Amino acid sequence: MKLFYKAMIIISFSTSFITGSHALEYFCPVSKKQDFDNSYTLEQLSNSMFSVKVNHRDNLATISRCSYVSSQGKVTCDDYQVDYIHKDTNVGHVKYYYFNGQFDLQIFSNLDFIENNGRGSIGFGSCSIVN
């Protein structure tokens, strides 16, 4: 009986991929950030409110890199259209590439992530699925 339910779940997911109704949104707050010679403190992380949002629909994705801007008194985001998405079908990791900005984001199957801004900073944390 368990095998039947697993097969039904797989068929259901496969159908959503084929019909183009597959969409995911991730919210990924940065809990650790490292530059070449600097580890951000918990206070810096709390004040800056770094995060990444991903809107992934079918074969297209947008990444939004967000942080608190004191001059505006709020969190603002810069949006980037992803150039390439690679999904490791064996383990479920997904990597998003934005080539012009030399930026990439990898979300692991357990929803941990690594954000490489392409300029010497790497952010780490755990994502949640918004929808």
Q: Is residue 35 part of a domain?
A: yes
Please say if the pLDDT value at position 10 is more than 90: no
How many domains does the chain fold into? 1
Q: Is residue 5 part of a domain?
A: no
Q: Is residue 2 part of a domain?
A: no
Full domain range(s) for residue 94? 21-129
Average pLDDT over the chain, rounded to whole?
A: 86
Q: For 67-96, write each residue's pLDDT tens digit.
A: 999 999 999 999 999 999 999 999 999 999
Please say if the pLDDT value at position 7 is more than 70: no
User: pLDDT exceeding 70 applies to what percent of the chain?
Assistant: 84
Q: What is the pTM of this model?
A: 0.79
Q: Is residue 26 part of a domain?
A: yes
Q: Is residue 92 part of a domain?
A: yes
Q: For 105-121, write each residue's pLDDT tens digit.
A: 999 999 999 999 988 89
SS (H, E, C) the chain: CHHHHHHHHHHHHHHHHHHCCCEEEEEEEEEEEECCCCECCHHHHHHHCCEEEEEEECCEEEEEEEEEECCCCEEEEEEEECCEEEECCCCCCEEEEECCCCEEEEECCCCEEEEECCCCCEEEEECEECC
